[in-house]
């Protein structure tokens, strides 16, 4: 009996020891058993030597994996270095170009200079890159100032049918006018959004050398009598007819007599910004009375009222005459450069947010723009005299008044509308 009990005890104990130290670890390694209780038992009873071997094995595997990753990364890096950018789709390359060579990135660099740099940098690399550069030229709207484009560049841009998004007409000389019209006729103006024809002075006669060069390169020159403001507007209409998308912004020089607004009328349904620089007349022999000026400005009033999308209006005049402004859409009016003593007698603009005008300190009234019902007091203008808020547009001190806090003659605008008075 005494010998039976030890054996029985041994048989009772051994299976549990065997299962914990041998069977379970072996099953875990070979069969992948992941029972949580069994894993905890194995962890408690695992052989230290076996544990060290497992750790060394894992460490070796990690080093091997690290070497594999480093090797694959190095191979990928080599592959990237050897990858040819010319194999990318043209759309991707054009997108890359846009980050450095887009004409709107810098207002101080002319678009034609940007394009020239692009072709000098990439266009001479290979024939495929040159084709991509041309593709970019045809797809990217350029901002062109014709005064800064020489005749050779104008001919090249026209021959490539470059796309124009913003165009500033040059009327300094007869050759400049011919060059400007040649660009508008020959280039792609389907996305033209901004047109600036703001030259007021009579163009100078080009030198014989300039005329000969322009004529030899195919630029048409026009006789002097057809180069007044009205003539330039008419030829611009011919150059753009049927080829131009709705223009959103215009800056135009106009004569009060004879008044010609067909260029504005052609695009008034799409115009959102309009700057009018109105002079009396290019004919110095015409005398314009005050009543004649008022009647002509009434035409301007009707023109402004007929524009369904106009948001910003800027007026600049070289004669004294009042005007009425009525618009359902105008949000900003700038009369800072109107002639002294010229006022907006009626301003009926239900969406107006900002009105800019100039102050006449001597009589405590406005120099132009709108007149307050009660004259400004010294306390109100002290900031104007000694420096107040700096106006961003002209870097001049200004004082702001809410229409709801101070009444202005003929002003029918929201109470939140700001009238900025500048010195």
Reported confidence tier of residue 66, pLDDT bands at 50, 70, 90: low
Distance CA 101, CA 96 (A): 9
pLDDT at 25: 39
What is the structure's pLDDT at 186?
Answer: 94
413 pLDDT exceeds 90? yes
Cβ(298)–Cβ(321) below 8 Å? no
Q: Which of 44-53, 91-100, 180-189 has the least mean pLDDT?
A: 44-53
pLDDT by residue (tens digit) across 326-361? 999 999 999 999 998 899 999 999 999 999 998 755
Is the model's pTM score more than 0.95? no
Q: Please report how many Cα atoms fall inside a 13 Å half-sphere around the Cα of residue 229, on the Cβ side.
A: 27
Antiparallel, parallel or unpaired: β 397-402 and 418-422: antiparallel
pLDDT for 30:
39
- Give the tens place of pLDDT for each residue, 246-255: 899 999 999 9
Query: What burial class does residue 283 get, using C-beta atoms within 10 Å of its C-beta: 0-12 exposed, 13-18 middle, 19+ buried?
Result: exposed
Answer yes or no: is pLDDT of 224 > 70.
Answer: no
* Interstrand relation of 249-255 and 194-197 (parallel, antiparallel or unpaired): parallel
Which of these, 404, 405, 401, 407, lies nearest to 374 by C-alpha position? Answer: 407
State the average pLDDT over residues 24-48.
Answer: 46
Question: Comparing 288 with 227, which gets the higher pLDDT?
Answer: 288
User: Which of the listed CATH numbers 3.80.10, 2.40.160, 3.40.50, 1.10.10 matches domain 95-343?
Assistant: 3.80.10
- Do 134 and 94 meet the contact criterion of CB atoms below 8 Å apart? no
Mean pLDDT lowest among 23-27, 118-122, 178-182, 327-331: 23-27
Rounded to an integer, what distance in angstroms lies between the CA atom of residue 238 and that of residue 210? 24
Burial of 423 (0-12, 13-18, 19+ CB in 10 A): middle
Domain ranges of the chain: 13-85, 95-343
Residues in contact with 354: Cβ distance below 8 Å, sequence separation at least 6, in sequence order: 331, 332, 333, 417, 418, 420
Q: Is the pLDDT of residue 217 over 60?
A: yes
Judge whether residue 43 has pLDDT over 60. Answer: no
Q: How far apart are CA 258 and CA 228, in angstroms?
A: 11
| Tokens describing residue 313 | 């209006």
Higher per-residue pLDDT: 272 or 228: 272
From the number of C-beta atoms within 10 Å of its C-beta (0-12, 13-18, 19+), residue 185 rates as middle
Average pLDDT over the chain, rounded to an integer = 75
Question: Does pLDDT of 369 surpass 80?
Answer: yes
Within 10 Å of residue 42's Cβ, how many Cβ atoms? 20
Q: In this predicted structure, which of 70-79, 218-227, 312-321 has the lowest mean pLDDT?
A: 70-79
Q: Within 13 Å and on the Cβ side, how many CA atoms surround 76?
A: 6
The residue assigned the tokens 């060059």 is: 179
Q: What's residue 105's pLDDT? A: 38
Residue 20 main-chain phi, psi, to 5 deg: -80, -35
- Residue-level pLDDT at 13: 37
Q: Based on C-alpha coordinates, what's the Rg of the chain?
A: 39
Cα dihedral sign for 336, 259, 245, 105? negative
Q: What strands, in cross-sheet order, belong to the sheet with 411-412?
A: 323-326, 344-348, 411-412
Q: Quick: pLDDT tens for 276-324.
A: 999 988 777 888 888 889 999 999 999 999 999 999 999 999 999 999 9
CA distance 140 to 128: 18
Which tens digits make up the pLDDT trace of 123-171? 666 777 777 777 777 888 888 888 888 888 888 889 889 889 999 999 8
Query: Count of CB atoms within 10 A of residue 137's CB?
Result: 21
């Amino acid at each position: 009996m005494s010998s039976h009990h030890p054996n029985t005890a041994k048989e009772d104990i051994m299976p549990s020891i065997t299962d914990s130290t041998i069977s379970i670890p072996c099953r875990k390694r070979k069969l992948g058993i992941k029972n949580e209780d069994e894993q905890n038992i194995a962890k408690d009873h695992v052989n230290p030597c076996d544990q060290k071997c497992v750790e060394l094995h894992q460490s070796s595997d990690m080093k091997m994996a690290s070497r594999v990753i480093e090797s694959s990364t190095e191979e990928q890096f080599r592959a990237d270095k050897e990858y040819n950018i010319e194999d990318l789709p043209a759309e991707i390359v054009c997108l890359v170009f846009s980050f450095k060579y887009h004409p709107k990135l810098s207002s101080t660099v002319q678009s034609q200079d940007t394009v020239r740099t692009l072709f000098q940098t990439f266009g001479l690399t290979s024939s495929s890159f040159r084709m991509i550069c041309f593709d970019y030229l045809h797809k990217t709207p350029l901002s062109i100032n014709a005064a800064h484009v020489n005749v050779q560049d104008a001919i090249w841009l026209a021959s490539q049918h470059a796309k124009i998004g913003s165009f500033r007409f040059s009327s300094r000389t007869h050759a400049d006018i011919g060059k400007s019209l040649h660009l508008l006729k020959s280039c792609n103006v389907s996305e033209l959004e901004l047109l600036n024809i703001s030259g007021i002075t009579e163009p100078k006669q080009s030198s014989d050398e300039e005329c000969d060069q322009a004529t030899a390169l195919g630029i048409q020159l026009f006789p002097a009598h057809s180069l007044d403001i009205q003539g330039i507007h008419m030829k611009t209409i011919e150059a753009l007819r049927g080829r131009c998308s709705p223009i959103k912004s215009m800056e135009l020089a106009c004569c009060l007599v004879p008044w010609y607004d067909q260029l504005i009328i052609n695009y008034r349904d799409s115009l959102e910004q309009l700057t009018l620089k109105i002079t009396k007349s290019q004919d110095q022999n015409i005398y314009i009375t005050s009543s004649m000026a008022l009647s002509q400005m009434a035409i301007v009033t009707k023109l402004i009222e007929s524009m369904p999308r106009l948001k910003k209006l800027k007026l600049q005049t070289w004669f004294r005459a009042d005007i009425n402004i009525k618009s359902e859409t105008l949000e900003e009016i700038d009369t800072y450069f109107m002639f002294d003593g010229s006022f907006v007698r009626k301003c009926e603009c239900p969406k107006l947010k900002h009105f800019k005008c100039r102050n006449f300190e001597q009589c405590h009234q406005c120099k132009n723009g709108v007149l307050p019902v009660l004259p400004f007091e010294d306390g109100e203008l002290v900031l104007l005299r000694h420096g107040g808020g700096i106006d961003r547009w002209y870097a001049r001190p200004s004082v702001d008044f809410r229409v709801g806090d101070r009444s202005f003659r003929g002003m029918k605008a929201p109470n939140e509308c700001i009238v900025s008075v500048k010195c």
